[in-house]
Amino acid sequence: MKEIKVKAPATVANLVCGFDILGMALNEPFDEMTLKLTDIPGLIIQHTDEFNLPEEPEKNVSGAALLALMEEYEKPLGFHLTIHKNIKPGSGLGSSAASSAGAVVAANRLLGNIFSKEDLVRFAMNGEKIAGGVKHADNVSPCIYGGVTLIRSIFPLDIIPLNAPSLFITIVHPQIEVRTSDSRQILRKEVQLKNAIKQWGNIGGLITGFMKNDFDLIGRSMEDVIIEPVRSILIPGFDEVKSKCKEAGSIGGGISGSGPSVFMLSKDESTAKKLEKIMKEIYERIGVNYKTYVTSINTEGVKIIQEKEV
Amino acid sequence: MKEIKVKAPATVANLVCGFDILGMALNEPFDEMTLKLTDIPGLIIQHTDEFNLPEEPEKNVSGAALLALMEEYEKPLGFHLTIHKNIKPGSGLGSSAASSAGAVVAANRLLGNIFSKEDLVRFAMNGEKIAGGVKHADNVSPCIYGGVTLIRSIFPLDIIPLNAPSLFITIVHPQIEVRTSDSRQILRKEVQLKNAIKQWGNIGGLITGFMKNDFDLIGRSMEDVIIEPVRSILIPGFDEVKSKCKEAGSIGGGISGSGPSVFMLSKDESTAKKLEKIMKEIYERIGVNYKTYVTSINTEGVKIIQEKEV
């Protein structure tokens, strides 16, 4: 039987102004998963990490994604999946997306790449529904496609890969829990037209910045007048991290996904490391546990790292 | 004394989903203006067209724009402006923007190009305020820069020129009056977040389509769930024009600015001419007077066509 091992990357959804439509894959952190095609129809899932996630396929994020794929496959299939997560659930770094995307990319490879990337996003969105109650694609798309992706529309699904600039990303994950479903619920259902106009100006600027590799335009477009003012209240130290990192040379940044992680972009690695030091100082002082990453944009998405006959 | 003659192009604002942030310059129709630098400080304006527009500088659109420029110039200036408008006021084709932009571009050339394009947009926005009550830049920017422009922000002004694809544009101007101020007032002040998300997905798709010359992406992104459903009620024949033109091969289109003109895009001139025929048939049948144009994107903006000593 064939066995495959993959790396599934963390992702930053929203990219500040692009709520539900933009996402970016990171080189770190990432999950590791091993998927084996077996003779016994059905799905067995095993976690080797510390996160105490449910292993019943219907309740497991990877499981829900794989079951969607298996349903669309003509014949009965048997899979054995072993997951080692490094991306902490609830971090705002696309932990559930990595689980969903990694599983379906691995399965597709074992089946001879019969499904398109768009199909895989569609399957993986079932995992997102288990995790956050909503089928959204702004983490699973960059996780599968790599780079920066635009979700023009979910129904029908329309994913547009953008240019991925050579930026460095510094992330701090304050170890507090913000549930995606909670952070959705605190949002107002209506927005003022004048704020919506500001937001779409910034989205336009951000996308043009990516396409033109114009880092300053990316920076000044990373402004969110609708979601961030509400969600940032849930994140201790947010305003200080953002303002001090900008003073220290960051081009911009904000909440990663629904938080609590915060990401800041830099043009070079030395600035990115300087930002990490600033973030550490802030959370040491506040007295909140944290984890930091200095990384860059992952342009490949889920990556096959081993493939063998067993 | 020096005298200069310019052509100021019509523009399509909004481009369906980009309300207040996107605009595109056209090769036709256009206004013609002659500006003379004189020894007598002050501003004299004369219209040679049929539109009965006020000629007092403070009430005239070109006048308001020129007065803003003159105020920022260190010394007293004397100008004599003659305007021949072809773009009918209230058409939704940026008639006031052409008047404002043409005047300040001409003045800047006479003064030795001392102001930047962004300065000129800032001056020209004063003309827009006279015409529609609001300082908006989505017509004056493409009129001055040419091509397709994004207004990321008005305060502070941030104009980003986009790539202008080689598309053909068919326009029908049903001869009914829709005042910009009226068509603003019928808009709701709040929008549903879920509709705002759809809108920013489409804006992202449209801008990416322009940057990648992806005509199909441009077409499917030209969808407006917020403004068009409200404004199109004011335009007789709108739904029929849009659906029949799409059936005939148009990639997409919608209301030009605040209407009543409707624009439809095509990949080639023969399709664009086919659309013109369809539009004519519809308005003949409805019994509304109309004017049509088949044109392309103007990449230069306001153009100097004559310069002489008098």
Please give the CATH number for the structural domain made up of B168-296.
Answer: 3.30.70.890
Does the bond joining A57 to the residue before it have cis omega, within 30 degrees of 0?
A: no
Q: What is the pLDDT of residue A180?
A: 65
> Across the interface, do B199 and A202 touch by the CB < 8 Å criterion?
no
Shortest alpha-carbon distance between residue B151 and chain A (Å)? 6
> What mean pLDDT value characterizes chain B?
95
Interface probe, candidates B154, B207, B226, chain A, greatest A C-beta count within 10 A: B207
What is the per-residue pLDDT for B180?
A: 65
Query: Where are chain B's structural domains?
Result: 2-163+298-309, 168-296
Q: How far apart are CA A113 and CA A129, in angstroms?
A: 24
HSE of A147 in the Cβ direction (CA atoms, 13 Å)?
Answer: 17
User: Least CB-CB distance to B189: which of A22, A160, A193?
Assistant: A193
Chain B interface, Cβ < 8 Å to A: 18-22, 150-153, 158, 160, 162, 187-194, 196-205, 207-208, 211-212, 217, 220-221, 226
Model confidence band, residue A1 (pLDDT cutoffs 50, 70, 90): confident
- Find the residue in B nearest to A190 (Cα): B192
Question: How far apart, in Å, are the Cα atoms of B275 and each of A135, B262, B283?
Answer: 39, 11, 13
What share of chain A has pLDDT > 70, as a percent?
99
Which among A223, A215, A276 is positioned nearest to A253, based on CA atoms?
A: A223
> How far B115 CA lies from chain A's nearest CA (Å)?
22
Q: Which residues contact B3 (CB under 8 A, 6 or more apart)?
A: B34, B35, B36, B37, B306, B307, B308, B309, B310
Which residues from chain B sit within 8 angstroms of residue A19, using beta carbons? 197, 200
Q: Do A162 and B193 touch (CB under 8 A)?
A: no
Structure tokens belonging to residue A160: 């547009």
> Do B143 and B94 touch, CB atoms closer than 8 A?
yes
Q: Using the beta-carbon criterion (under 8 Å), do B197 and A21 form an inter-chain contact?
A: yes
Catalytic positions of B are 128, 180
Per-residue confidence band for A299, with pLDDT thresholds at 50, 70 and 90: very high
Choose the closest CB to B211 out of A193, A194, A211: A211
**Which fold does the domain B2-163+298-309 belong to in CATH?**
Ribosomal Protein S5; domain 2 (3.30.230)
Chain B residue with minimum CA distance to A211: B211
For an interface test with B, give the residue of A207, A210, A215, A217 to mutate (most B CBs within 10 A).
A207
- Non-local CB neighbours of B72 within 8 Å, separated by 6+ positions: B115, B119, B123
pLDDT in tens, B87-138: 999 999 999 999 999 999 999 999 999 999 999 999 999 999 998 878 899 9
- A239 with A197: CB under 8 angstroms? no
Query: What's the CATH number for A2-162+298-309?
Result: 3.30.230.10
Rounded Cα gap, residues B288 and B291, in angstroms: 10
The predicted-structure confidence for B168-201, as pLDDT tens digits, reads as follows 999 999 999 776 677 777 888 999 999 999 999 9
Is the predicted pLDDT of residue A45 greater than 90, yes or no?
A: yes
Task: Name the nearest CA neighbour of B225 among A211, A155, A183.
Answer: A155
Residues of chain B positioned with their CB less than 8 A from the CB of A153? 198, 201-202, 205
Retrieve residue A185's tokens: 């619920």
Say what the pLDDT of residue A187 is.
85
The partner residues of B24 in beta bridges, in order of sequence, read B12, B148
Sort strands A42-47 and A78-84 into parallel, antiparallel or unpaired. Answer: parallel
Residues B70, B77 contacting (CB under 8 angstroms): yes
Long-range contact pairs involving A157-161 (C-beta distance under 8 Å, separation at least 24): A157/A118, A157/A121, A157/A122, A158/B201, A158/B205, A158/B220, A159/A117, A159/A118, A159/A121, A160/B204, A160/B205, A160/B208, A160/B217
Nearest Cα to A34, choosing from A69, A4, A64, A78? A4
**Contact A23/A12 with Cβ under 8 angstroms?**
yes
Instruction: Please state, in angstroms and rounded to a whole number, the distance separating the CA atoms of residues A229 and A231.
Output: 6
B199/A200 touch (CB, cutoff 8 Å), yes or no: yes
User: Which residues of A are less than 8 Å from B207 in CB distance?
Assistant: 204, 207-208, 211
ipTM higher than threshold 0.85: yes
Chain A residues with CB within 8 Å of chain B CB = 18-22, 150-153, 158, 160, 162, 187-194, 196-205, 207-208, 211-212, 217, 220-221, 226
B153 and A201: CB-CB below 8 Å? Answer: yes
Tell me whether residues B191 and A189 touch, CB distance under 8 A.
Answer: no
Provide the mean pLDDT of chain A: 95
Tell me how close the Cα of A14 comes to any Cα of chain B, in angstroms: 11
Q: What is the pLDDT of residues A173-214, one digit of tens each?
A: 999 977 666 777 788 899 999 999 999 999 999 999 999 999
Q: What is the pLDDT of residue B278?
A: 98
Write the burial class of residue B4 (CB in 10 Å: 0-12 exposed, 13-18 middle, 19+ buried): buried
pLDDT band for A131, please (50, 70, 90 cuts): confident
Q: CA B202 to CA B228: how far, in whole Å?
A: 14
Tokens 């300065």 label which residue?
B119
Which chain B residue's Cα is nearest to A152?
B201
Collapsed DSSP state (helix, strand, coil) of residue A3: strand
Please tell me the distance from the alpha carbon of residue B286 to that of residue B289, in angstroms, as a whole number.
Answer: 9
Q: Which two tokens stand for residue A25?
A: 């894959």
Please tell me the pTM assigned to this model. Answer: 0.95
A212: amino acid identity, one letter:
K
Asked whether the beta carbons of residue B220 and residue A150 sit closer than 8 angstroms, the reply is: no
Placement of tokens 């932990």 in the chain: A95
Q: Which residues of chain B lie closer than 8 angstroms to A199, CB-CB?
A: 196, 200
The stretch B283-303 carries a mean pLDDT of 97
For residue A173, CA distances in Å to A46, A177, A263 come to: 26, 10, 9
Give the CA angle between residues B15, B20, B24 to the nearest 5°. Answer: 40
Q: Which residues in chain A have their CB less than 8 angstroms from residue B190's CB?
A: 190-193
Q: Are A264 and A245 in contact (CB under 8 A)?
A: yes
Q: Which residues pair with B159 in a beta bridge?
A: B151
What pLDDT shows up at residue A103? 98
What residue type is A198 in one-letter code? K
